[in-house]
Structure 1
Amino acid sequence: MLWEVGQIEIGVGTLVGTNEGIDGSVAQSIHSLKQWIKQTQPHILGDETPWIVKGVKQWLWIFANSDFPLFHGSDTPCPGELESIVGSSYSGVLISDDFTAYNGYTGHSSTEMSTTSTLPRHFKTLIKIPGFNHQEIGTTFMDLIDEGLKNYPLFQQTQNLHQFLTCASYFQPKVESSIHLLIKPQVNLVNFYLP
């Protein structure tokens, strides 16, 4: 970036020295944050992305909420890396994108949530699967997701919590009604036909 902005060259040695200096000064804080996450188990968003380091694929993880971001580099996207950050048992809400590492992590309770970007993908897949009323379920919940998400940007702009909660109070019964009408009958039919 310095080259692009001001055509300033920085040697590799300078970069290595700078990284080592920064690493030494923040290592204890990072360690403390990792321990705090394991102990307090706050609600967090976890995500990871691959990046190439000297021709080798590496992974950059982020774990964050409104209070902190924690970046973690690794050479693998496996559940073990996730466990090294959140611990072997996690009771907080872990929001993820349904990547294999999260699905393979066995230490979470039922409080894992998919991000809103993955929910439509799951319902689009459901629409394509032949079955009892998969197309109706998928279409209904795609519409509900769109409706639920349209009010959030308005809240971000106005910060009117009362208006947002009012919308949510009307929206929640719609979701519950859809679950009751579309999904529970299918579960009951499956249970009826099982030996």
Structure 2
Amino acid sequence: MALGRRKEAAPRLVRPRLYQQLAEHITAFIEAQGLAPGDRLPPERELAVELGVSRATLAQALVALEMQGRVAVRHGDGAVILDPAERVAAVIAALAGYTAASLESARLPVMAGVLSTAAFGPEELRTAAADAETSGATAAEVWAAVRAAAGVSPLVDIDLALESAGAPIPRQIVAELPALTAALRAGRPVTLTGGAG
């Protein structure tokens, strides 16, 4: 037995919680049924029975979907489907007149949040982002792959709105992109060394 040798712990398996799985299932249902903004989901009691989950778990999933901008939960009305494009357009309109430097500063913490979300994304999408970076893709192309790994998220919507308003990719993100995508590939937590993540 050699002294000083440490066994590395196996990486922890990250499993989505039931409410997160349920939120993804409801999103797929919305798309499969072709539900449009303004349409309503079935009442909570009925939906919980149909999906075989508790109302508490369903309520958590609906809150997650509300945070993503997919639905608005209105007491007495149930969950109403929202149009995420409307929210993005409102953010873009609110950003009119800001300088590129101020937009870049605003975008950095948003991108740090997108990176944290992407770390829990599907392995094939995380790998695609890392592959894009190592194959010489532009920073914008790599970042598009990172956003894809993050999936549906209000942070992704805000980042898209900032990009549409003219916010450049912050220099810190560009400088750290190889390390960030390597962490994504390995499924490790992704943080910016400059402290924004």
TM-score, length-normalised on structure 2? 0.23
Query: Which has the larger share of strand?
Result: 1
TM-score, length-normalised on structure 1? 0.23
Q: Which has the higher contact order (CA 8 A, sep 6+)?
A: 2
